[in-house]
Amino acid sequence: MPGTNLTQQEAIERRAVVAGRPDYRISLDVTKGPDTFPSSTTITFDAAPGASTFLDLTADEVVSVTLNGTALDPAEAYADSRVTLPDLREHNVVTVEAVCRYSKTGEGLQRSVDPADGNVYLYTQFEVPDARRAFAVFDQPDIKSTFTFDVAAPASWLALSNTPVAACEDVPGALTEPGTLVDRPAEGVRRWTFETTPVMSSYLTALAIGPYAERRSSYANADGRTIAMGLYCRQSLEDALDRDAEYLFDVTKKGMTFFAAQWDVPYPYAKYDQVFAPEYSSGAMENIGLVVVHDRFMFSSKVDAGDLEDRDRTLLHELAHMWFGDLVTMKWWNDLWLNESFATFMGYLAGCEAAGWPDDWSSFCSCQKYGALDADQRPTTHPVVAPIHDLNDTYVNFDSITYTKGAAVLKQMVYYVGREAFFKGIHDYLTRLAYGNATLDDLLESLQRASGRPMRDWAERWLEHAGMTMVEADADTAADGTISRLTLRQSAPGERPVLRPHRIAVGFYDLDEVSGRVTRTARFELDLDGATADVPEAVGLRRPDVILVNDDDLTYTKIRLDERSRDFAAEHLAQFADPLARAVIWQSFWSMTRDGEFPAERFIDLTLRALPTEDQAATFTYSMREMQITAQHYVPAARRVATMRRISEEVWRQIGEAKPGSGQQFQLLTAYLAKYAADHGFEAHARGLLDGTVALEGIEIDDGMRWKILRALAARGFLSEADVDTELAKADTSKNRENALAAKAAIPTAEAKAKYWDLMLHDESLAHTQLWEMAPAFNSDLGCEDLYEPYAQRYFDEAEWIWTHRSFHVADVLLRFLYPEHAPAALLTKLGDEWLAAHPAGKTDAALRRLVIDAVDGSRRAAHAEAANN
């Protein structure tokens, strides 16, 4: 298996050769540019004498390779992104001089130019195997090493790495290369040298270099040390940083205190910097001591409470990684969940208990968990502990199974072993394996020792099998209205019949005629391990209006309400007082709608009735998204345009009735523009908002809202490319360039679709974040099947070319979001099945097949749901 891929077997063989913990000395020169930079790496390492191995390196040119004092011919030593190291000694020193390339799409060392002021910003993204794009490296997680970086940079810039600065000095007589600073005069050069890192995996090393705006603070750590803290962003976003810095530091400090208390392990590193980076290819990355965060979280326009909550949770997620993933790292990528599931679970727990978001588990239920249940029903689902044969398998497992199902299973594990025992076991795990690598068995050993409960069978059923179970309540009611029997029934639908042990709650909910609210009147918690479990405590109680299975959302399962409960909940959803109960019920209705078991238009009706009073932002946002999917794909084609128009008219009416300045008003307007915009009055409403002739009290048309309106107008054919360019010229920022490209890609003409399809596939100057906005916008239209029908064939004709010729991160965006979902589902299913037959498993990259299978499965499910609604 050549090149930037790496098989698990190759990693095992290399680890057997490379002994101990190598030491790296890495020098980069970013005064050169704008396309490439010099890289020098010296590695001291032990090895099995006489053996051979290889370094990973993706470079434009390898200038020299010196192994144990002997120069190797680069033409022979370097091929296919690998540097061969032959005839090793017990103690070895290798130096590799190379010329590496800056990235525009998020892998390796990214170079971004801010159009607002021309400033250049650099930062790294090395997960999964992209440290090799900046220096020569044994790029696998279980060869933990120490790293010492030094960087030559323009004298006016800052430089950051995982560790504090050890030295910073001007380089006499040196000047930057013309072009490096974008049309600015050459300036002096400064060399930054950083302290040697603790032992760590290569994918967690990091640099951020540029004229970043900076704010500083410090934290009194639980072990008596003072932890230096920093926040950084582009200079053009400095006003937003000033506004939010105190709050962001406060959230981070609360997280540090919370995690240290839960695990009884203080924050382990010397500093904690967070860099809000432009054109970032992910949400954030947990580099030790230097977290990189997408600067969409540096809010310069108004956002809703869900966005604020999401930012806090993202920061807490990455902070949790300093322990899970960084201090203790998975041995190989099949245990990626040891990183991501724990960080996701702890991010929500900290949000709920420390950071001021008490309804965070409602957000988890609405915006995370049901996405995992969706993925778990696809043919591409996989166990939480997934088989990872090579790095390409890893890429596509950064998904809702690994993050969210894993987090939901951990939440269930807490109830299984008890919270005190759970965190006692985590303390053992973190201290026993600190600075090392771990597997699932290591975790189970710690939890079993702490709780005294057998963990292997539990973990095998929860973590090593794909799919989910379904739990429903079956109740008998006596003539006097009391319950004579209440039984929970667990089934395992589909091809994965594994019943799981659940610690589960059942809630009774009744309408209070005085308050008009539906509240919980009883709750029972029990174990369900097998096909059935009775609830004897419920016998003799009056049957409630709703029997809610999985009350408080303790476990991971699909649920179904009994018929009486379902009918009542459908009419009274908005009246449920508890936001988590509301979320569990709402998502149950969505699950039934998606499976073709609940009428699509009835789901739309109950959602529209519930929206005006829904004050939990994530539940609101994701219910609007689910309503859009239902209207566009599950409602029969003949009724879709009318259904979308009805929703759009109702949402506009609700905007007018919403409390001015409320979260509901802002979210309703955002959804109206981004998801619907289908009523006859839309153009007048949108243009009126722009020119002030339509005023909504409480709504400010700031830059963010302005571009929501412009993008909606373009997607409905009311703006031309020239119109978009005129609007961009009023405020030419990197975010607005993304908005402008997305608006143009959304224009519903054959000419625009052809132009921007080809641009996205072939223009390698487009940044990852630009493609991330453009590709979904390309598919934003409704009622224009003829516009998208030609792209059904093109998608399958060009899928393999995209996979082969574009980087993984770019190919992933294009193949996910350019899938022409508005073309006829029958056509997409037919073409998809033909493509898969012509590209069988074993002869086609598994990750590519998985992306295509997922896309086609969506069409197949839409066709099934549509047929059920005819």
Q: Which residues are catalytic?
A: 318
Task: For residue 840, give every residue at least 6 positions away whose Cβ sits within 8 Å of its Cβ, in sequence order, or none.
Answer: none
Task: Measure CA 641 to chain center.
Answer: 32
Q: Quick check: helix, strand or coil at residue 417?
A: helix
CA nearest to 85, candidates 60, 49, 31, 35: 49
Q: Cα(617)–Cα(221) distance, rounded to whole angstroms?
A: 33
Q: Cα(825)–Cα(205) distance, rounded to whole angstroms?
A: 45
Identity (one letter) of the amino acid at 25? R
DSSP code per residue over 710-737: HHHHHHTT---HHHHHHHHHTS--HHHH
CA distances to 119, 124, 235, 732 from 211, in Å: 7, 15, 7, 19
DSSP code per residue over 233-245: E-GGGHHHHHHHH
Cα torsion angle, 362, 368, 372, 374, sign: positive
Alpha helices in 364-453 (DSSP H): 370-376, 391-395, 400, 406-417, 419-432, 440-451
For the CA atoms of 740, 741, 744, 748, what is the dihedral angle to 10 degrees? -120
Q: Which residues pair with 113 in a beta bridge?
A: 120
Residue with the two structure tokens 């991010």: 347
Cα torsion angle, 413, 414, 420, 425, sign: positive
Q: Cα(528)–Cα(532) distance, rounded to whole angstroms?
A: 7
Task: For residue 25, give every residue at least 6 positions away whose Cβ sits within 8 Å of its Cβ, in sequence order, or none.
Answer: 41, 42, 43, 148
Q: Are 96 and 64 in contact, with CB atoms under 8 Å apart?
A: yes
Name the token pair of 279.
């054109």
Task: For residue 10, give every residue at least 6 positions away whose Cβ sits within 8 Å of its Cβ, in sequence order, or none.
Answer: 1
Q: Cα(248)–Cα(79) distance, rounded to whole angstroms?
A: 45
Helices 238-263/337-353 angle, 10° precision: 100
DSSP 364: I
Q: Cα(325)–Cα(340) distance, rounded to whole angstroms?
A: 8
Q: Are 112 and 88 in contact, with CB atoms under 8 Å apart?
A: no
Number of Cβ within 10 Å of residue 628's Cβ equals: 18
Q: Cα(233)–Cα(117) distance, rounded to whole angstroms?
A: 14
Task: Measure CA 637 to chain center.
Answer: 32
Task: Measure CA 319 to chain center.
Answer: 15
CA nearest to 568, candidates 554, 547, 583: 547
What angle (nearest 5°) sits at the alpha carbon of residue 795, between those of residues 794 and 798? 80
CA nearest to 700, candidates 661, 736, 672: 661
